[in-house]
Structures are given as structure tokens and as C-alpha cells.
Amino acid sequence: MTKIIDLSHVIEPGKAGRKFSLEMVGADTVNPNVIRLENQWYIMHNISMVSHIGTHIEAPYHILKDQADLAALPLETLMGPAVILDLRGCPAKAAIQIGQVRKAADRAGGIRPGDIVFGNLGWGAFYGTERYGGNPYFPPDTIAWLADQGMKLMGVDASGVEVPGSEEHVSHHALFSRGIPLIENLAHLDRLTKSRVQAYAIPIAVRGLEAFPVRVIAVEEN
């Protein structure tokens, strides 16, 4: 039997924490030739938002101007086998060391070349609270180790991979300089029952855009 798990948070206008607003308009404001049937709804929306909101994917172009934007991300990078690293015992605001990741990877059956790697920090439960920003983080050497194992895409159930409060983005650089995109604010990793799943995280393809909300889906096969 196949089990499908949504690993994304729902974005709620007015509660998103960052700029996100919807303006409902009649479709005829966009297309003046609209012909409505009796009592027909037929609306559209203008959207005003920051691109880093909710569960979102960041392309290397986020901090490296000569690297891939959303439109340039290969589809094979955005789907495929994913390994779930159980790192829920790591202390808040502490660096996740290579040894801790290695042990989690061993428990999950190893990281294989071409794997998506999702770090389950147990932080999804704090989404939307003041505690959420105090997650454990991945220093550059730990990210380099993951990349050396063959990681092609990384995701975490936290607001990022950096030292909490740091604005230097050294861990982002460790990922993006290797062409590895990052998904932030994953949800519901605790609903997964297997350490390996098929995962899909395909954003819209927009040239010159560095990030966008993404629906992340995990598929478990019994």
C-alpha cells in the first residue's frame, strides 16, 4: 500500500509571519471579454509576498549570482529517493556534528549518491512560535560531509541551517557553492514511518527568482 505524506505547512494569509497578502479581483478585470454564466463566481487574485515564506525552496542563486535560479534547477534534483535523518536528540542552538549525522545516517541505512536528505530536528512542532528560531544548526563541515556522501537536495524542519542569529550564511554557502538547493520549514516529518521514501519538491520555474513556496510530498511504499 502507498502512503502519501504532505511535508509542507499551509500558508494562511494574515498569519504567515512575513509579507503575504491576497487581493481578490473579478476575472473580468484581467480579461474584459469574460462572459459569465448565471451566478458564476469566476475570480482571480493579485498576490503580494516575499519569496521566502512557509515551506520554501532556495536555489543557489539566493547568495551566488552566477549559480542556478529556480528555472535552472534540474528536475532530477527535485525528486527521487530521500533519506530521513533522525536528529531529534540534538540540543537547541547547538552545532550538529559530523559524528551525529553519521550515526543518524547509519541508522537510516546510509546516504547514497543522488539522495535527497531531510533532517528531522523535531522542530516542526514549534512552527509559528518564539521557540522555532532556536533550532540546532548544520555547520559548513557537516554540510560538506553530507555533500561528499552524494546529497543532491537538503531539507530541514526548521527556519534554516545557520547558527541562530547569524547573518553570515556560511552554511548556505556550503550548500549553494556545491549546487545543492535547500528546503526550509518542512512539516510532518514525524508522520513518516520509514527512513527512506520517494520525495517530490517542484517549485514554479521563474527566471531570476531565488526562492518560492513549495509543496513537498513524500511517498512511502510498504
pLDDT digit string, tens, across residues 22-34: 999 999 999 898 8
> 15 is written with which cell numbers?
498569519
Mean pLDDT, residues 109-120 taken together: 98
What does the pLDDT read at residue 214?
Answer: 98
pLDDT per position as a tens digit, 73-98: 999 999 999 999 999 999 999 999 99
- How high is the mean pLDDT of the chain? 96
What does the pLDDT read at residue 192?
Answer: 97
Residue 198, helix vs strand vs coil: strand
Tell me the H-state helices in 82-212: 98-107, 140-149, 170-176
Mean pLDDT, residues 118-134 taken together: 95
What does the pLDDT read at residue 146?
Answer: 98
Mean pLDDT, residues 158-167 taken together: 91
**pTM attached to this predicted model:** 0.95
Q: Which of 94, 73, 98 is nearest to 176 (CA)?
A: 73
What band does 36 get if pLDDT is binned at 50, 70 and 90?
confident
Chain center to CA of 24: 28
The full set of domains in the chain, from first to last, is 19-49 (no CATH), 56-221 (3.50.30.50)
Mean pLDDT, residues 182-191 taken together: 98
Is the distance from CB of 54 to CB of 203 less than 8 angstroms? no
What does the pLDDT read at residue 173?
Answer: 97
What does the pLDDT read at residue 166?
Answer: 86
Angle at 85 between CA 84 and CA 86, to 5 degrees: 110
- Compute the distance between CA of residue 67 and CA of residue 44 in angstroms, rounded to an integer: 34
What is the percentage of the chain residues whose pLDDT exceeds 70? 100
